[in-house]
Amino acid sequence: MIIQRVVLNSRPGKNGNPVAENFRMEEVSLPDNINEGQVRVRTLYLSVDPYMRCKMNEDTGTDYLAPWQLSQVADGGGIGIIEESKHTHLAKGDFVTSFYWPWQTKAILDGNGLEKVDPQLVDGHLSYFLGAIGMPGLTSLIGVQEKGHISAGSNQTMVVSGAAGACGSLAGQIGRLLGCSRVVGICGTYEKCLFLTSELGFDAAVNYKKGNVAEQLRESCPAGVDVYFDNVGGDISDTVISQMNQNSHIILCGQISQYNKDVPYPPPLSPAVEAIQKERNITRERFTVLNYRDKFQPGLLQLSQWFKEGKLKIKESVINGLENMG
**Cα(6)–Cα(209) distance, rounded to whole angstroms?**
34
pLDDT tops 80 at residue 259 = no
pLDDT tops 90 at residue 61 = no
Of residues 230, 324, 200, 259, the one with CA closest to residue 53: 259
Question: Can you list the alpha helix ranges (DSSP code H) found in the chain?
Answer: 52-55, 135-147, 166-177, 190-198, 213-220, 234-241, 271-279, 296-308
The pLDDT of residue 285 is 87
Residues 6+ apart with CB under 8 A from 55: 65, 66, 67, 68, 74, 76
Q: Which residues is 43 bridged to in the sheet? A: 80
Over residues 150-165, the pLDDT tens digits come to 999 999 999 999 999 9
Let me know: does 25 contact 323? Beta carbons within 8 Å: yes
Using alpha carbons, list the distances in angstroms from residue 112 to 12, 39, 294.
34, 10, 18
Residues 6+ apart with CB under 8 A from 50: 254, 256, 259
pLDDT tops 80 at residue 260 = no
pLDDT tops 90 at residue 303 = yes
Over residues 266-285, the pLDDT tens digits come to 788 999 999 999 999 999 98
Instruction: Determine the angle formed by the axes of helices 135-147 and 296-308, rounding to 10 degrees.
Output: 100
Q: Which DSSP state fits 211?
A: S
- Nearest-Å Rg of the Cα atoms of the chain is 21
In Å, the largest CA–CA distance within the chain is: 64
Q: What is the mean pLDDT of the chain?
A: 96
Let me know: does 160 contact 175? Beta carbons within 8 Å: yes
**Cα(103)–Cα(4) distance, rounded to whole angstroms?**
9
> pLDDT confidence of 180, banded at 50, 70, 90?
very high
The pLDDT of residue 64 is 85
